[in-house]
Amino acid sequence: MRNKLSVVLGLLGAVGFSYAQAQNPECMQNLSIFAEHAKVKNYDAAYEPWKMVYENCPELHYATYAYGEKILKHKIETEEANKDQYVAALADVYEKGPQYFPKKFTTAGSLIDIALLQYDNKTASKEEIYNMLDKAYKEDRDNFKNPKALYLYFSTLVDLHGEGKKDLQDVFDTYDDVTGKIEDENRELAETILKYVEKDSSGTLTSKEERILKAARTNGESYEKISGSIDSKLGSLADCDNLIPLYQKNFEERKNDAEWLKRAAGRMDSKDCTGDPLFVKLVEALDALEPSAASKYYLGSLYEEQGQSSKAMDFYKQSIDLETDKYKKANKLYSIAVKARKRGQKSTARNYANDALSYNPSMGNAYLLIASLYADSANECGSTPFEKRAIYWRAAQMARKAAQVDPSLGGKAAAAANSYEGRAPSRSDIFSSGMAGKTIKFNCWVGGSVTVPSL
């Protein structure tokens, strides 16, 4: 439940309570009593007056639900003998919150809270947990913002498929929905981070902005973790041996469904199943039905698979030109950069990675890709061993930028930067070379320069 408890006590004396107080002054009295106790975390003393208000005047004030959650969580943690009773009571609080105060509590939030409560306390079956989360997701997707619940939603579906209770197609459809939801949330968080990161660097954030930025970074890290967990949970279910027969079976029925074709082609592309003739059928059907950024991109993948890199690049460029969403455009540009790197086209790969950053400056993976391209070019830049190894400082700079724009990559980026710096000239190398503080220019595809650290 989301609320602002700090203002509850100030509101208790508001004029809006006059009618309720006249109808049941005892409720108003007990509301003040339990709120005072709960405010100082004396939840045991708050329980009885809270229960009286909840049972007799459930519509009195949203504090009954906000503080009720805290009171009952305390009871669950401290009274093992009556734990099931309090779990059931808390589930009831979650359920009734949106009924009485729909402006304070959302449908999705209510169902998510109940599902997580029952999952954590093992008081519901997998089917029940899944059905609650499925209802929350489908009826109130915009407010489904809990990373743990999002993972649990997908995880229980995969488990139910393993038990023969859900179709594989349901798993794939939900995977697409959930990963799309994560992209949407990360997009919002990225915009928030970009809005405040410059002020953070200059130390001019207000206390409120600091809280907003911290929350955005924390949530970004959470979504990054569950994204990896969701991919791991899907695991071998999405390999070519499963995908190809499933899509072959459904192709005739779904060949006029652009969304299905798009998802099927996308998954086969991401799992390197593009060598199968089915991929050609999917892509051609999609492009005939709905020429789009997606269909052009998959045609590029098709020609890439056939070794026609130049033709593939033509379709990739068409895809980028057709794409109107800047984040999807950035993702496509980054993907092309990765493909160029695999072909050994380092300069081309960097250019596409930089283009991706122009549309999504918070794409830390693009900086990590550039860092790795620089590191792979150590023997191509410089005329002396010292100059050649200096490129690792440039690579480390790029890796650290990745962490700056995308805190969820902090650990990965730091490890990469430390690895690159470990391969750069050591302090003794700097001392013996007499290069401390000097600038080294890179007369190769990398370009630019780096300043040797001072001793």
Residues in Cβ contact with 221 at an 8 Å cutoff, skipping those fewer than 6 apart: 407, 408, 410
* pLDDT of res. 2: 46
Structure tokens at 124: 């519901």
pTM for this model (two decimals) = 0.65
Which of residues 92 and 202 earns the better pLDDT score?
Answer: 92
pLDDT above 70: percentage of residues in the chain: 95
Query: Could you read off the pLDDT of 312-344 as tens digits, one per residue?
Result: 999 999 999 999 999 999 999 999 999 999 989
pLDDT, one tens digit per residue, over 397-433 is 999 999 988 888 888 999 999 999 999 999 999 999 9
Cβ within 8 Å of residue 296, ≥6 positions away: 287, 315, 316, 318, 319, 322
Q: Is residue 4 part of a domain?
A: yes
Q: Do 421 and 414 touch, CB atoms closer than 8 A?
A: no
Report, as an integer, the average pLDDT of 368-394: 94
For residues 246-272, average pLDDT: 89
pLDDT band of residue 220 (cuts 50, 70, 90) is confident
234 inside domain: no
For range 31-57, the mean pLDDT = 95
- Nearest CA among 204, 186, 139 for reference residue 330: 186
In this structure, is residue 66 part of a structural domain? yes
Q: pLDDT confidence of 272, banded at 50, 70, 90?
A: confident
Other CB atoms within 10 A of residue 403 CB: 20
Residue 379 inside a domain? The answer is yes
In a domain, 397, yes or no: yes
For the segment 291-320, the average pLDDT, to the nearest whole number, is 89
Identify the domain boundary among 55, 75, 105: 105
| Per-residue pLDDT at 18 exceeds 60 | no
Tens digits of per-residue pLDDT, 153-199?
999 999 999 999 999 989 988 998 898 899 888 888 888 888 888 78
Per-residue pLDDT at 109 exceeds 60: yes
Number of domains in the chain: 2
What is the mean predicted confidence (pLDDT) over 353-371?
95
Note whether 57 and 24 are within 8 A (CB). yes
Nearest-angstrom CA–CA distance, 451 and 453: 6
| Domain end among 74, 105, 136 | 105
In a domain, 53, yes or no: yes
Q: Does the residue 169 lie in any domain?
A: no
Q: 423 in a domain, yes or no?
A: yes
At which of 49, 74, 105 does a domain end? 105
Domain holding 85, by residue range, is 1-105
